[in-house]
Chains A and B, each alone.
Chain A
Amino acid sequence: MMAFVHLLLALVLAPLLLGVINRAKALFAGRNGQPLLQLYYDLAKLLRKGAVYSRTTSGVFRAGPIAGLAAVVAALAIVPFAGTGAPVSFAGDLVLFAYLFGLMRFFTVIAALDTGSAFEGMGASREVQFAALAEPVLFLALAALARQAGSLSLTGILGAVTPAGPAWALVAVALLVVLLAENARIPVDDPNTHLELTMIHEVMVLDHGGPDFAFILYGAALKLWVLGALLVGVVLPGENILLSLVAMLALAVAVGVIESTMARLRLLRVPQLLVGAGALAALALILVMR
């Protein structure tokens, strides 16, 4: 039962995380910032709009946001929250978890290429590069946790995390880097940039509008929630659902703080960051292997 409560919580609260991030950034910049519920307003507005499509595009462009949202909702059903098991849990579900994000990305990327725009091609090209490097990091980190827990399902792994020791800390850092990279946050990508040439995720969805764009924004918020739930489950295991919710908001604040205090890395440096995170996860794996 509780598992489905999380599903509902995530579906309702996910857009709030972005509001919190933006508020935290505004606070650092000395602005009032947008309302906490801004993304909800945006979604409501977009869902009421019509659509404009480029003549170059085909059905792939229209299918991209739909498939992306479906994949991330499916991933949501696998990730446990606040100590209660996920609605769906089985040996090896962590592989399906990671590959559902792969499916989402694949469709986002080909939808971007469907526009025939150089900007969107550029964003897509960077996205696949960073994702290809982030995926092994995620697997190494999860393998370290799995070895420690002796379990192969996310529910079993997060149920057996002991939040102490160097291996745990290394895994947490690696997962944080994966979270930032996968959700197109600073230091990998800047969601607020105004120049198409420097964007990654934002530029891929440049030509989407109306309900399609609402699906994309909502899917991105869900993705942040899902990976956030994974990180919170590792850092703060426990069965207190309120505490876990507070931890999710704290994670959003932390992301806001990182974005306010760091500059975006040069694109050439991003692979180094990801490979570095991979090295940390591998080190964690060696530590648990002893």
Chain B
Amino acid sequence: MNLLLAAVAILVAGGVVALWRDRGGPVAAVAGCVVGLAGAGRVLWTGATVSLRLPWNVPFGSFYVEADALSAFFLLPIFGLSALAAIYGGEYLAPWRGKKSLGAAWFFFNLLVASMAMVVLARNGVLFLVGWEVMALASFFLVTFEDERDDVRAAGWTYLVATHLGTAFLLAMFVLLGRENGSLDFDRFTAGKAGLVFVLALIGFGTKAGFWPLHVWLPEAHPAAPSHVSALMSGVMIKTGIYGLLRVLTVLGSPPVSWGWVLVGVGLSSGILGVIFALAQHDLKRLLAYHSVENIGIIALGMGVGLLGLSAGLPVLAALGFAGALLHVINHALFKGLLFLGAGAVLHATGTRDIEHLGGLLKKMPATAVTFLVGAIAISGLPPLNGFISEFLIYLGAFKGGVSASAAIAVPLLAVITGLALIGGLAAACFAKAFGVVFLGEPRSDHAAHAHEAGPAMRGPMLLLASGCAAIGLLSPLTLGVLTPVVSVLTPADALWEAARPLTIISGAGIVVLVLIGVVALVRRRLLAGRPVGETVTWDCGYAAPTARMQYTGSSFAQPLTELFRPLLGTRKKFTPPTGYFPAPTTFATDTPDVSRERVYRPAFGLVEAGLSRLRWLQHGNVQLYVLYIALTLLVLLVWKLS
């Protein structure tokens, strides 16, 4: 516990120091994270839950913190990815030195990391909400780092509104829990009014996690933030929503079947819609943000499988589902952190996030390209990398229940299987597009043609994250040792070792595939040795002057799929067709606004605004009138109190 609290203290102190000397920010962040990782590692290693309870002079509040296996597990990506993001950010933010206050940026960065750690450590409702709110505000100020840009400010406001809507539900949830149990300390919570608490937690935490249709802020805020912050927000901050939901589930007792159905439904809609919307994007970071929605959906599917297992009394199913969901939390932190850092390196080198202006970057920035490719394979859930391992655990749980359980359990599980298969295929399509259009082929613009590789401080974290993806993929049985105590917080995990035994063969198969690749590559090398190997242009049906503009674009690559899902996407097209015998330049542009933002939030906020604008006559800007309001309010309160 001391190590963990020391880490938080180092982070906060370092943040304050950064206000004077901004170079101290990343150093303190790395130091705090390393100390924190040691603390979290010790909790997981010894398996002992450590806690600390101090009185706190706040109504219903107490400074009650505790690190059990579940908290320590979430601390791993929080501290791990934050340290790497801090190293990366030191170089990434350098061009802004002298133009922007980097000290403030590092202050909020360190505060964000510290508050995320507090959120998973807090065991008191008030303390938790304070941490939650600091986290929301710190990330808001980080998102609006480039606040001179209109789109960034708009994204910041969307985020601020969305996160507070979520917090409102959490507030209601804690008030309800406190009223039922007479205390806001987590260890006093019982399963009273479980159904209502579950719904409030699902909406409140789901807003942070990015469940469809509560995800509206993700595709706005993630692209707007500096890339190392996007990596942190997408890789770990949204996972605090998952953590909160899991923590609440631990106090709610045995769940009814319907909760499992709900989470499977949430997972399917987030997963499938997330990836479909990702396909339609041509802003690289926005595309990645929608993939966060997709991966949160996969995590929700795992939790759904776990809940179905709990409610049906099938411990194997429950253990596999939760293990898959938890491992996917770590995996997503690794590969999404990696991909956002890669996208940041591309943005840093070319100045654009629009994939239609990129291309051919592999030759200019090989390290970024190779690590991005590793991330792309991992996030598509393909063997032999880590994404496949966590999805396999969820698949295995779903299949185990799907082939034996009664229809009420089997039907949602089979939906999980079908949904995961569809999500996997679409994600692979989307990352073939993202990687292929950005890094392969010929440069589509001058920006891309004059790109340069990122510096060592940016390459290092990407390389580490890529090796993490490979390590979990190839050594997956070792993860079970970490996962078992964490899963046992949620459900008896004795069956996990036995049930997850195939992981040994899966990782073995991954190594076999790599060896086979090596063998075939050697054969090819032997065959081509001493033979003529020529170079020429790409076959283009005999055009005399091929140009980079004749390449397939990202939009055209995704067009068959976006056309197929058009009823869901609502893509707007702007097309000026060529006319006349000698057509002048024509234009074609597509734009896919978020459907839930357009159809749900905008009308809802429109109604609220219309309602509130009726009260506008109260507001004159006349100070005397406002003094009158205050006096009247005081009078009313006095009368009410006296009567």
Contact count band on B: 35 or more
Q: A128-B428, A138-B421, A150-B403 are in contact. Are A102 and B382 (CB under 8 A)?
A: yes
Judge if A49 is at the interface, Cβ distance under 8 Å: yes
Q: Which A residues, 113 to 158, have Cβ-Cβ distances below 8 Å to chain B?
A: 113-122, 124-126, 128-129, 131-136, 138-140, 143, 146-147, 149-152
Q: Check B535 against A91 for contact (C-beta < 8 Å).
A: no
Judge if A60 is at the interface, Cβ distance under 8 Å: yes
Q: Check B380 against A50 for contact (C-beta < 8 Å).
A: no
Q: Check A113 against B539 for contact (C-beta < 8 Å).
A: no
Judge if B506 is at the interface, Cβ distance under 8 Å: yes
Q: Check B441 against A56 for contact (C-beta < 8 Å).
A: yes
Judge if B383 is at the interface, Cβ distance under 8 Å: yes
Q: Check A121 against B532 for contact (C-beta < 8 Å).
A: no
- Our pick among B414, B435, B440 for the contact of A285 (Cβ within 8 Å) is B414
Q: Check A66 against B428 for contact (C-beta < 8 Å).
A: no
**Chain B residues with Cβ under 8 A from A92's Cβ?**
392, 395-396, 399, 502
Q: Check A133 against B425 for contact (C-beta < 8 Å).
A: yes
Give B535-566 as 1s and 0s: 1 = Cβ < 8 Å from A's Cβ atoms: 11111110000001011100011111100100
Q: Check B388 against A99 for contact (C-beta < 8 Å).
A: yes
Say which one of B137-145, B152-160, B259-267, B511-519 lies at the interface with A: B511-519
**Chain A residues with Cβ under 8 A from B362's Cβ?**
58-60
A114 to B441, CA, bound (A): 5
- Our pick among A52, A102, A129, A143 for the contact of B536 (Cβ within 8 Å) is A52
Say which one of A6-14, A34-42, A210-218 lies at the interface with B: A210-218
User: In chain A, what residue has the closest Cβ to B559?
Assistant: A125
A272 to B43, CA, bound (A): 53
**Chain B residues with Cβ under 8 A from A119's Cβ?**
539-541
Q: Check B524 against A116 for contact (C-beta < 8 Å).
A: no
Q: A49-B531, A88-B509 are in contact. Are A125 and B539 (CB under 8 A)?
A: no
Q: Check A129 against B564 for contact (C-beta < 8 Å).
A: yes
Judge if A161 is at the interface, Cβ distance under 8 Å: no
Q: Check A106 against B396 for contact (C-beta < 8 Å).
A: no
A63 to B435, CA, bound (A): 15
Q: Which B residues, 396 to 447, have Cβ-Cβ distances below 8 Å to chain A?
A: 396, 399-400, 402-404, 407, 410-411, 414, 417-418, 420-422, 424-426, 428-429, 431-433, 435-437, 440-442
Judge if B533 is at the interface, Cβ distance under 8 Å: yes
**Chain B residues with Cβ under 8 A from A121's Cβ?**
436, 551-552, 556-557
**Chain B residues with Cβ under 8 A from A122's Cβ?**
552, 556
A105 to B431, CA, bound (A): 12
**Chain A residues with Cβ under 8 A from B551's Cβ?**
116-118, 121
**Chain B residues with Cβ under 8 A from A58's Cβ?**
362-363, 440
Q: Check B528 against A51 for contact (C-beta < 8 Å).
A: yes
Judge if A196 is at the interface, Cβ distance under 8 Å: yes
A94 to B395, CA, bound (A): 10
A53 to B539, CA, bound (A): 10
What's the nearest-Cβ distance from chain A to residue B516, in Å? 4
Q: How many residues of A contact B (CB 8 A)?
A: 83
Judge if B521 is at the interface, Cβ distance under 8 Å: yes
User: In chain A, what residue has the closest Cβ to B399?
Assistant: A152
Q: Check B383 against A132 for contact (C-beta < 8 Å).
A: no
Q: Check B418 against A139 for contact (C-beta < 8 Å).
A: yes
**Chain A residues with Cβ under 8 A from B403's Cβ?**
143, 146-147, 149-152
A206 to B524, CA, bound (A): 19
**Chain B residues with Cβ under 8 A from A106's Cβ?**
377, 380, 382, 428, 431-432
**Chain A residues with Cβ under 8 A from B520's Cβ?**
66, 69-70, 215
A93 to B395, CA, bound (A): 11
What's the nearest-Cβ distance from chain A to residue B513, in Å? 5
User: In chain B, what residue has the closest Cβ to A103?
Assistant: B382
Judge if B634 is at the interface, Cβ distance under 8 Å: no
Judge if B6 is at the interface, Cβ distance under 8 Å: no
User: In chain B, what residue has the closest Cβ to A109?
Assistant: B432
**Chain B residues with Cβ under 8 A from A55's Cβ?**
535-538
Judge if A47 is at the interface, Cβ distance under 8 Å: yes
Q: Check B535 against A53 for contact (C-beta < 8 Å).
A: yes
Judge if A236 is at the interface, Cβ distance under 8 Å: no
Q: Check A129 against B560 for contact (C-beta < 8 Å).
A: yes
Judge if A67 is at the interface, Cβ distance under 8 Å: yes
Q: Which residues of A contact B (CB under 8 A)?
A: 47, 49-60, 62-63, 66-67, 69-71, 73-74, 77, 88, 90-96, 98-100, 102-103, 105-106, 109-110, 113-122, 124-126, 128-129, 131-136, 138-140, 143, 146-147, 149-152, 196, 206-207, 210-212, 215, 267, 271, 282, 285, 289
What are 14 of the A-B contact pairs (CB < 8 Å)? Answer: A50-B534, A51-B528, A53-B536, A54-B539, A66-B524, A70-B519, A92-B396, A95-B392, A109-B432, A117-B551, A126-B560, A132-B422, A143-B402, A143-B417
A-B contact sample (10 more), CB < 8 A, given A70-B514, A143-B399: A49-B531, A50-B533, A51-B531, A54-B536, A60-B362, A96-B506, A110-B436, A113-B437, A115-B441, A139-B421
4 interchain residue pairs of minimum CB distance: A121-B552, A132-B425, A113-B436, A116-B441
